[in-house]
Amino acid sequence: ETGVTQSPTHLIKTRGQQVTLRCSSQSGHNTVSWYQQALGQGPQFIFQYYREEENGRGNFPPRFSGLQFPNYSSELNVNALELDDSALYLCASSLGVNQETQYFGPGTRLLVL
């Protein structure tokens, strides 16, 4: 059974640029959630995708957007990067939305200069 994978592991961008982060869910999981974790803080929920549809969103601006593909992998896109977007971005997959346990990937560390 393959776990949750994310790419890239590290990324450096400059303010105003756009970035795409990728996540492959665990085998058999149809739900993907994205979280932003600032240094020394707990993760904050960005949004969740279930069967290719957005299924809930946290308090993040519209320049944070996402996609889920038919194979349930997912992308997180961030436009017009700001310095405060520097963080660890975590992807988690689960079997469904009904309180199934979420399993996390290793994360992508984004640095915005």
Partner 1 sequence: AQTVTQSQPEMSVQEAETVTLSCTYDTSENNYYLFWYKQPPSRQMILVIRQEAYKQQNATENRFSVNFQKAAKSFSLKISDSQLGDTAMYFCAFSQGVDGANSKLTFGKGITLSVRP
CB 35 within 8 A of CB 46: yes
85/72 Cα distance (integer angstroms): 25
28 CB-near residues (< 8 Å, 6+ apart): 95
Type of residue at 17: Q
Which residue, 69 or 104, has its beta carbon nearer to partner 1?
A: 104
Binding residues for partner 1, how many (CB under 8 A)? 30
Q: Which parts of 30-89 interact with partner 1 (CB under 8 A)?
A: 31, 33, 35, 40-45, 48, 50, 55-56, 58, 88
Shortest approach of partner 1 to residue 96 CB, angstroms? 8
112/43 Cα distance (integer angstroms): 18
Which residues contact partner 1 by CB under 8 A?
A: 31, 33, 35, 40-45, 48, 50, 55-56, 58, 88, 90, 92, 94, 97-107, 109
